[in-house]
Structure 1
C-alpha cells in the first residue's frame, strides 16, 4: 500500500526535521519551498509574470527576484496577491 503524507506547519515547527527523518528512511520527499525557488530563478516564466504584475524593479541587476521587495509589495497591497 502506498501513502502520501503532507507536512504542514508554521515557521520553526519541525517540518524540515521530519522531512529529513523521512529522507533518512528512504522515503521520497518533495519540498515545495525548493520548487517555489526554482520557479522564480532567472529566465523562468514565473519570474517574468511576477515582474509584469508587480513591476520590473522587483528584479535585481543579476536577474534574481528581490524577495523582500516582493513581500513588502504584496503586504502593502493584499488585493494584488493573485496573478489571475
Structure 2
C-alpha cells in the first residue's frame, strides 16, 4: 500500500530535518518550495504567463 503525506509547519519547526530523514529511509520527497522556484525561472513558460497576466510590475525587484 502507498500513500501521500503532506508535511507542513512554521519556520524552524523541523520540516527540512523530517524530509531529510524520510529520504534516508528511501521515501520520495517532493519539496514544493523547490518546484515553485524552478517553474518561475527565467525562460520558463509559466514566468511568461505570469507576466502576461499581471504585467511588468509583478517581475520588478
Q: Which runs of 4+ in 1 moved over 6 A?
A: none
Q: How does 1:5-84 map to 2 (within 5 A)?
A: 5-52=5-52, 53-55=54-56, 58=59, 69=61
User: How many residue pairs were aligned?
Assistant: 60
- Segments of 5+ residues of structure 1 without an aligned counterpart are 59-65, 70-84
Of structures 1 and 2, the one scoring higher in RCO (CA 8 A, sep 6+) is 1
TM-score between both structures, scaled by the size of structure 1: 0.61
TM-score between both structures, scaled by the size of structure 2: 0.80
- Segments of 5+ residues of structure 2 without an aligned counterpart are none
